[in-house]
A and B are shown apart, each in its own frame.
Chain A
Amino acid sequence: MIGLRGGISAAIVVILCAALGMIAWGAQQAAVRTIVPTIMAKADSVGRSAAALVETATQAGIPVDRLVGVKPYFEALIRQNEELAHMRLVRGGVVLWESGEIEGPDWPEVHTAVVARNGAPVATLVIAIDPRLVSEQVAAVLIDVAFIGVVALLIALELVALVVGTRGVTVLAAVEARVRALARGRLVLHQAGDAATDHLIAPIDRHMAALAQRHAAARTLAQARGDEAAVTALDAVAAKTGLGSTQAGANQAAAMVRPALFLFMLAEEFTRPFLPRYVQALAPPNLPFSADVAISLPIVAFMAAVALCQLPFAAASEWLGRRNGFVLGAALAACGYALSGLTGSYYVFLAARVVSAIGYALVFVSAQGHVVDRSAPNERAEGLAVFVRAIMVAALCGPPIGGVVADRLGGNVAFLFSAGLAGAALLLAAASLPRSVRRPHGHGLGLGDLKAAIQAPRLAPLLFGCAFPAKFILAALCFFLIPVALQRSGYSSAAVGRLQMIYPVIMVLAVPIFAGLADRYSARSFFVAAGGTLAGAGALLVAFGTTPLVLAGVLAVLGIGQAMSIAPQSALVADSARHVPGGHSAGVLGLFRLIERSGNALGPAAAGLMLGAFGFVTSMMSVGAIVVIGAAAFALSGRNTETTGPSSDAASEEASVQ
């Protein structure tokens, strides 16, 4: 039986797919009506310019059939304007000069008259346009619109989850749970909650309670008279129907924090596509370092602050309480975003980014701690999966929206949007998370834990050969080099944002597949090494060019490579953690996170230095080479013994969060 909440969520997906399909159709029609005439106008402009040149020559006394260099000129124009397929100069129905090819009789043409000084017609210049290229341009717009559709759908699902997860629908959830249990033939009791007194629920609960009571009484009587057969029969019925047992409610810890976390992460993801452009405009010319370093520095400062705060904040979040930690972190981040949008000073902007990073780290550890605190060990992987999904969906939706907002309203307004989102996350967390339980003696992790952790068997090659380079290349390419390169080629922030969606899309789709394969073939080390090699090798694709298509290919290969390695890598880390003596397993996970975050911080820093010194292509290839070397070092370190630990899927939820 499908409930109201599940049913309407599914219906919204279907309805939105149909509605967004209609919007895409409308967009296609609008593009044909508006953009195609603009392309024709461009051909007309080229025609009039060429005709003016011919007129200048003829007015100087050169007969039109004796002109020199017309054919190479036409060829150059066709080469510069890919929509133009064929150009010809015609006089009295006779073609004097022509260049290019027409493959269809109905290809659109633009005619421009060449006239003498007295206005008498001398010749006609005809330009044929290749309709396939015009269609390609419209199709490219439609691909962008399709991306927008995916983002709209994902946001709708997050909003649905937000509504479904609120306390207001407790009664509905309780009703659905009881109706669903009966539809499956389960006569179970339900946990008494806020909804138990509802007039619709109470009669059902009374029936179940009476049945359970009757069953228990009959069993007691049967036991008392020593009727083993009756006891066995009653137990068999109880096992089959659930009589007397209480159905536990689903763990809501992750569902509670998911909407607030999604909104918060969206705030940071918003900034990804336009940040380099924004910083470039903000950076004064007299800085003591190069422009590329100036652009990378705010990204480095943010990532470094997150990396450094992560460990101490684990204890701080326990001391503050999870809700308080989340609220305080979101408030700090909101202030940081607002200051980033309002300041005109590069150094104040740097400080604002650090404030946002501190808030980000506190929110992250508080949200993660909330899920871990409130779920049993067997529920933890599922809870963290919800947690990771909220972050990945934010990574998918944030860049394209942030790009469009920055293009339309400016980067400073986009930062204020981020501040608003962080503020909304704060309010949502305050309203939806349970009251904080403060643990004054929360100790987090110390240096001793990290020292012990690094001695875990075979951990160092994994962390320094694979985990660090994975985040190093992600931050260097995705957050710095590719946005900067596209920006310098004249692409909008919206275009950068859409390109940045490729990586999270692939991760969301491919991580579970590769995790399953790595487990099935007991080949985690192989997948880690192969994934790292592939991710690094993808960066070498820039040797074939730096067009958006090639860069999309780089991001796609990076995504596939990291999707291959991330879950098996987390499983190997979790495996190492189990082998650490002296109860330092938490230290392994803490060290893993610290090294990953350091990669995040050093990636843009190194990329900024390399970009200024060696240029884009060399920087990309160098970053890729570092990752390939790291993967090779890991493969050669002899880590090829597979042990049976937690499944990659489950481990990845524990250890693979951004």
Chain B
Amino acid sequence: MTRTTAVLIGLFALIAAACVAFGAYFSYATLLNANRAAVEARFAITAQRIAGTAELASSLGIGLSSQQTLTELLQREARIDAAVTTIDVADEHDLVLFSSDPKRIGHGDSARAAATVARVIENDIGKRIGWVVVHYNPGVLAEGAEALARDLRVIALPTLIAAALATVAVGLLLAAGLKRAVRRAADPASWPAPARAALASADAAYAAATPVPPSTPALRIVAAPGADRPGAKS
């Protein structure tokens, strides 16, 4: 039983530690998503502003590809925030028409790149005529992720170790109690009070039912010293 108990306590400590690690990792993943949402909200404002300007021009009859002033607007908006690397305006087929970085004009698949925030440009009847795509420095997200990981690691590692140790401590206490109880269970003189009372009633019924002295005296109750005192442990 000692080996089983030790293995069991070890397994339970592992479970406790694993579940704390699980909770910490998934909390980290949740914070990471929240951080990404907060970071991208900042660039979404820029994208929204440019999309609004393009839609206004479109409503005045200027086609997206003819909105030449967009280049200057994109360059100005890209200069405002150091975390923005480039801003593109692409047509409905994802082909870049204008960009804060002239080398990107004519490129495709801008809206699906990593570290981007895209907003749709629609015409007056709600049809998609293009996209504004803000490319930002992925280091902004990485910095946040690193800070979050650092902050959580500081709290999670000691908590994980403490949870495992606490589980071991509780397990050892309970195992010691069980071991004591099982030793006492092997000796009727040390049985808990309800068992001794039951044995006494069995002995009494046996004595009353048997005219000759009992042949199994070993089972007669032998009161442990102090067992009958009030407050004695059972």
Contacts and interface: CB of A to CB of B under 8 A. Distances in A.
Contacts, number: 270
Contact of A16 (B19, B34, B152): B19
A241 interface: yes
Interface stretch (B5-13, B61-69, B92-100): B5-13
A8 B167 contact: yes
Contacts of A203: 186
B93 to A, nearest CB: 14
Contact of A237 (B49, B152, B201, B214): B201
Contacts of B159: 19, 22-23, 26
Contacts of B148: 30, 34
A39 B35 CA distance: 9
B15 A35 contact: no
A38 B144 contact: yes
Q: How large is the interface on A (under 10, 10 to 19, 20 to 34, 35 or more residues)?
A: 35 or more
Given A26-B156, A80-B45, A152-B22, A204 B12 contact: no
Contacts of B26: 148, 151-152, 400-401, 404
Contacts of B192: 182-183, 185
Contact of B178 (A52, A80, A175): A175
Contact of B186 (A24, A155, A204): A204
B31 interface: yes
Contacts of A145: 27, 30-31
A190 to B, nearest CB: 12
B4 A52 contact: no
Interface stretch (B101-109, B123-131, B202-210, B223-231): B202-210
Interface in B117-159: 144, 147-148, 151-152, 154-156, 159
A204 B38 contact: no
A81 interface: yes
Interface stretch (A215-223, A477-485, A584-592, A599-607): A215-223
A211 B163 CA distance: 45
A11 B194 contact: no
Interface stretch (A42-50, A101-109, A430-438): A42-50
B40 to A, nearest CB: 10
B198 A35 contact: no
Given A19-B16, A183-B194, A34 B48 contact: no
Nearest to B186: A203
A186 to B, nearest CB: 7
Contact of A172 (B5, B156, B166): B5
A235 B27 CA distance: 61
A57 interface: no
Contacts of A408: 29
Nearest to A202: B186
A185 B200 CA distance: 11
Nearest to A41: B42
B201 A26 contact: no
Given A171-B1, A240-B198, A408-B29, A234 B205 contact: yes
Given A23-B23, A31-B31, A49-B46, A179 B185 contact: yes
Contact of B216 (A4, A30, A198, A214): A214
A427 B174 CA distance: 31
Given A23-B159, A218-B210, A34 B7 contact: no
Given A179-B185, A221-B210, A187 B198 contact: yes
B113 interface: no
Given A23-B159, A144-B30, A152 B206 contact: no
Contacts of A218: 205-206, 209-210
Contact of A49 (B80, B160, B166, B216): B80
B59 interface: no
B38 A168 contact: no
B160 A19 contact: yes
Given A8-B171, A19-B16, A179-B182, 16 more contacts: A15-B163, A19-B20, A22-B159, A23-B23, A27-B31, A38-B35, A141-B30, A152-B23, A178-B182, A182-B194, A203-B186, A204-B186, A215-B202, A219-B209, A240-B198, A404-B30
18 contacts: A12-B167, A16-B19, A19-B23, A27-B30, A30-B152, A35-B38, A38-B144, A52-B80, A80-B45, A148-B27, A148-B30, A156-B15, A159-B18, A182-B192, A186-B195, A214-B215, A222-B209, A494-B30
